[in-house]
Amino acid sequence: MKNLVLLFVLLSCYISSTSQIIWYEDFTTPGAWNLNVVNGPEGQTPDDFVISNIPYTWYTSSCAEINDNRALCIQGGGGPGSFEPDFWFSSATMSNRNAISPTINCSGYNNLILRFQYFEGGDTADNAKLLYFDGVTWSMLQDLPKTTLCSLTPQWTHYEIALPASANNNPNVQIAVNWTQDGDMTAIQPGIGVDNIYVVASPGSSTLISSETASTTWCLCGNHSLSYMSNATFNPGNVFSVQLSDPFGSFASPTVIGSVISTHPYDMIPCTIPCTQTLGNAYRVRVVSSNPVFIGNDNGSDITIPASTTPTISINATVPSPHCQGDMITFNATLSNAGASPTFQWTKNGLPFGIATPPFSTTALSNGDVVNCIVKSSMVCSSPLYDTSNSLSFTVGAVPSLTLSVIPTSTICSGNPVTITGFGGQSYQIVPAVTSGVPFIPTSNTTYTITAIASNGCTSSLTTPVSVINSPVVGGSVTPSNIVCEDDMVTLNGSGAVSYSWTGGVSNNVPFSIQASSVYTVTGTASNGCTSTSVVAVTANPNLPINVSLSTNPNPVVIAQNTTYTLNTGGITTYQIRWYKNGSLVSTTNNPNNQYQTIPSSLNDTVYAVIIPTGCYQPDSSKSSTISPQFASSISSFQEKSMTIYPNPVSDILQIYSEENIERITIRNLTGQTLYEYQIQKPVQEFHVSVNSISDGMYWIELETSNHRKQISRVLIQH
């Protein structure tokens, strides 16, 4: 970067009292310049006019005019030090601005001339113009030509233009520098710089060169420049020389520090302070010519030549361990001899890496990157002006490329397991604490963070939500009971959901015959699709056989005698007995009562019992045999069917045969009424009876044998 300090030699003429310098500006004390007056459409970060001695570029060049005076310059959108309008480094946008001078009082003067030095870059659309104000109207005085550049570094150029006649004797003259740029990020740097502006009346003749400078410090080995002005005419071969006094301001033995062969009445002379020059603080400078010989006055103030300083910079960085891609790295710098306001340029792998004052932080480092910092000293006599720090190289670990899966899905039913599995790392941590790849049962909606850890220690993380929706509380029931008998009909019913499926081929709420004890599982599905199960056990006890018999006391049963009927239950302990007389239900008894009492009044008073056991029996109930009474209680005993009778049924002659001799034959109806009775005088074993006179029906045939035993049988008479 170059320090630009302009030294001026102003002409003092004495040919007449009216030939004078009307107004002068070197921007040492800027005065009332109105900077950055908007003159048209602009973008968000337009260029700014500044009055500065900040160098115009980061580069130096042997063909640059270098001194240490302030100048009016345009600053790009990149901020202080960014003198590259419409260039990538500036983040520039469209600009249209004026820098307007204070009012120049030209009262009493005519034939006015505006002289100044400037440089201008830019392209066709990035342009500087010179404007003029006559107190009423602004107008363009000149579209300034582009000046010569050397390695992107400007060369100061003299420019002279006559002011319009409206400036004569005008107390309200102003000039302005206009800068426009189109923001297309394409330009030839730099923008515009202006210095050493003055307005003079046209000179007559003069023989004196006058010089002055506002600079107070010149540096050993430093390149500077001194401007001069004359109203004289110079001959070919004339040499203008810059002379440096001794440390005490004497020109008795001056040192020539720069010269130029020229006949031009004003120009800028490059000069260099010898590296071996004695240090001091009372030096003066002046300009002299050789043809004709003129000796200009000195600069009018003391100049200091101090010892040079050398800036140094070293950098360090705070680096985490392990150092992984994307980690924040903070750089710090240690400086010496860099002045109160040094400027920094960080570089990565030799390329600009942001401009920032340490500490400087970044996350944009990759494996193998090398970082330096270049410091530009703000001290006046710094040699060299820049220093480059030590290099910091970085080993940056790659972070694992983490992916994850949630199986079966990130929305699950309560009570069901889910598995979160990480991929791409060497190991994994999950918060809340679960294990990668191992199923677990979440109890509520939770966001899980999984961190993959690579072998180099670097990590990356992802999050996944897991939502838990309610599962139904499913139950199962059995109708009529969980304990039934084989072949019973049972019905299984689910509850707590909207649909159900059962194992064992069973349909919900559909009766079926159970053949053996079984365990059934019901799966209930809720309206949200979640399922739960419940288990129902059904015991089917085997059916036992029923073996009952009916007995009486007395036996046999006779008419008109109180009789107790007893049902032998065959081991059944819990039961109900229904007693039937003549086919009608007459009594019901429950265990342990298995008896029924009645007095038969006729042979029709038959009795039987039906047992209904509690428990599993086959069949569910059983009927006993039917017991009928004898004729009367006087008949002590009889044997039914101890005789042979035929035919049966009979229509006319009944044949009777007995193993014992028959003495009496009696035929009675079922109510006991005697219809036929015959006494056999000589007992026989076979006898014939005519039944033609007896009506159709069922009758009792009673035989009394010779040994006083009775036999009885039934016969059906059908004519």
Beta carbons within 8 Å of 695's beta carbon, 6+ residues apart: 717
What's the pLDDT at 641? 44
Q: What secondary structure does DSSP assign to 591-638, as a single string?
A: TT--EEEE---STT--EEEEEEESSSEESS-EE---B--BS-TT----
> Where along the chain do its domains lie?
20-201, 223-305, 312-393, 403-469, 475-541, 544-623, 639-717
Topology of the domain covering 544-623: Immunoglobulin-like (2.60.40)
Nearest-angstrom CA–CA distance, 289 and 267 = 12
The phi, psi pair for 238, rounded to 5°, reads -65, 140
175 - beta bridge partners? Answer: 132
What's the pLDDT at 82? 45
- Residue % of the chain over a pLDDT of 90: 50
- Residue % of the chain over a pLDDT of 70: 87
Sign of CA dihedral 21, 26, 30, 35: positive
Average pLDDT, the chain: 84
pLDDT band at 65 (very low <50, low <70, confident <90, very high): very low
- Pick the more confident residue, 446 or 189: 446
Nearest-angstrom CA–CA distance, 388 and 373 = 6
3-state secondary structure 35-72: EEEECCCCCCCCCEEEEECCCCCCCCCCCCCCCECCEE
- Give 116-125 pLDDT, tens digit per residue: 988 887 777 7
Peptide bond into 384 cis (omega under 30): yes
What's the pLDDT at 360? 87
- Check: CB of residue 566 under 8 Å from CB of residue 638: no
Nearest-angstrom CA–CA distance, 511 and 480 = 10
Alpha helical stretches, state H, 115-215: none
The DSSP call for residue 469 is E
Nearest-angstrom CA–CA distance, 9 and 226 = 7
The phi, psi pair for 584, rounded to 5°, reads -115, 145
448 - beta bridge partners? Answer: 464
What's the pLDDT at 248? 93
Task: Give the residue among 706, 707, 705, 696 at the shortest CA–CA distance from 715.
Answer: 696
- Give 463-475 pLDDT, tens digit per residue: 999 999 999 999 9
- Give 523-563 pLDDT, tens digit per residue: 999 999 999 999 999 999 999 999 999 999 988 888 778 89
Mean per-residue pLDDT, 662-682: 86
What's the pLDDT at 132? 97
| Candidates 2.120.10, 3.30.450, 2.60.40, 2.50.20; CATH matching 403-469 | 2.60.40
Nearest-angstrom CA–CA distance, 319 and 18 = 72
- Give 596-638 pLDDT, tens digit per residue: 999 887 777 899 999 999 989 988 889 999 998 875 543 334 4
- Pick the more confident residue, 81 or 15: 81
Same fold, 223-305 and 544-623: yes
Nearest-angstrom CA–CA distance, 389 and 374 = 6
Nearest-angstrom CA–CA distance, 194 and 191 = 10
Mean per-residue pLDDT, 39-47: 84
The phi, psi pair for 528, rounded to 5°, reads -85, 5
Lowest-confidence segment of 87-96, 103-112, 360-369, 458-467 by average pLDDT: 87-96
| Candidates 2.60.120.200, 3.30.720.210, 3.40.50.10610, 3.40.980.10; CATH matching 20-201 | 2.60.120.200
CA dihedral 483, 489, 492, 493 (to 10 degrees): -120
Domain 475-541 matching CATH 2.60.40.10: the answer reads yes
pLDDT band at 18 (very low <50, low <70, confident <90, very high): very low
Task: Give the residue among 23, 26, 22 at the shortest CA–CA distance from 9.
Answer: 26
Beta carbons within 8 Å of 572's beta carbon, 6+ residues apart: 546, 548, 591, 611, 613, 615, 617
Nearest-angstrom CA–CA distance, 436 and 405 = 10
pLDDT band at 446 (very low <50, low <70, confident <90, very high): very high
What's the pLDDT at 357? 82
Say if residue 45's pLDDT is above 50: yes
Say if residue 78's pLDDT is above 70: no
pTM across the whole model: 0.45
What's the pLDDT at 256? 97
Thinking of the domain 223-305, which architecture would CATH place it in?
A: Sandwich (2.60)
Output the six-digit token pair for 677.
């009775």
What's the pLDDT at 670? 77
Topology of the domain covering 639-717: Immunoglobulin-like (2.60.40)
Beta carbons within 8 Å of 180's beta carbon, 6+ residues apart: 39, 40, 95, 96, 125, 126, 127, 129
Longest pairwise C-alpha distance within the chain: 212
CATH dotted code for 312-393: 2.60.40.10
Say if residue 152's pLDDT is above 70: no
Output the six-digit token pair for 614.
């509690």
Beta carbons within 8 Å of 57's beta carbon, 6+ residues apart: 1, 2, 83, 84, 152, 153, 189, 190
Nearest-angstrom CA–CA distance, 489 and 508 = 14
- Check: CB of residue 34 under 8 Å from CB of residue 99: yes
Lowest-confidence segment of 417-426, 625-634, 679-688 by average pLDDT: 625-634
| Alpha carbons within 13 A on the beta-carbon side of 6 | 30
Nearest-angstrom CA–CA distance, 185 and 92 = 7
Residue 321: CB atoms within 10 A of its CB come to: 7
Q: How far apart are the first and last CA of the chain?
A: 157
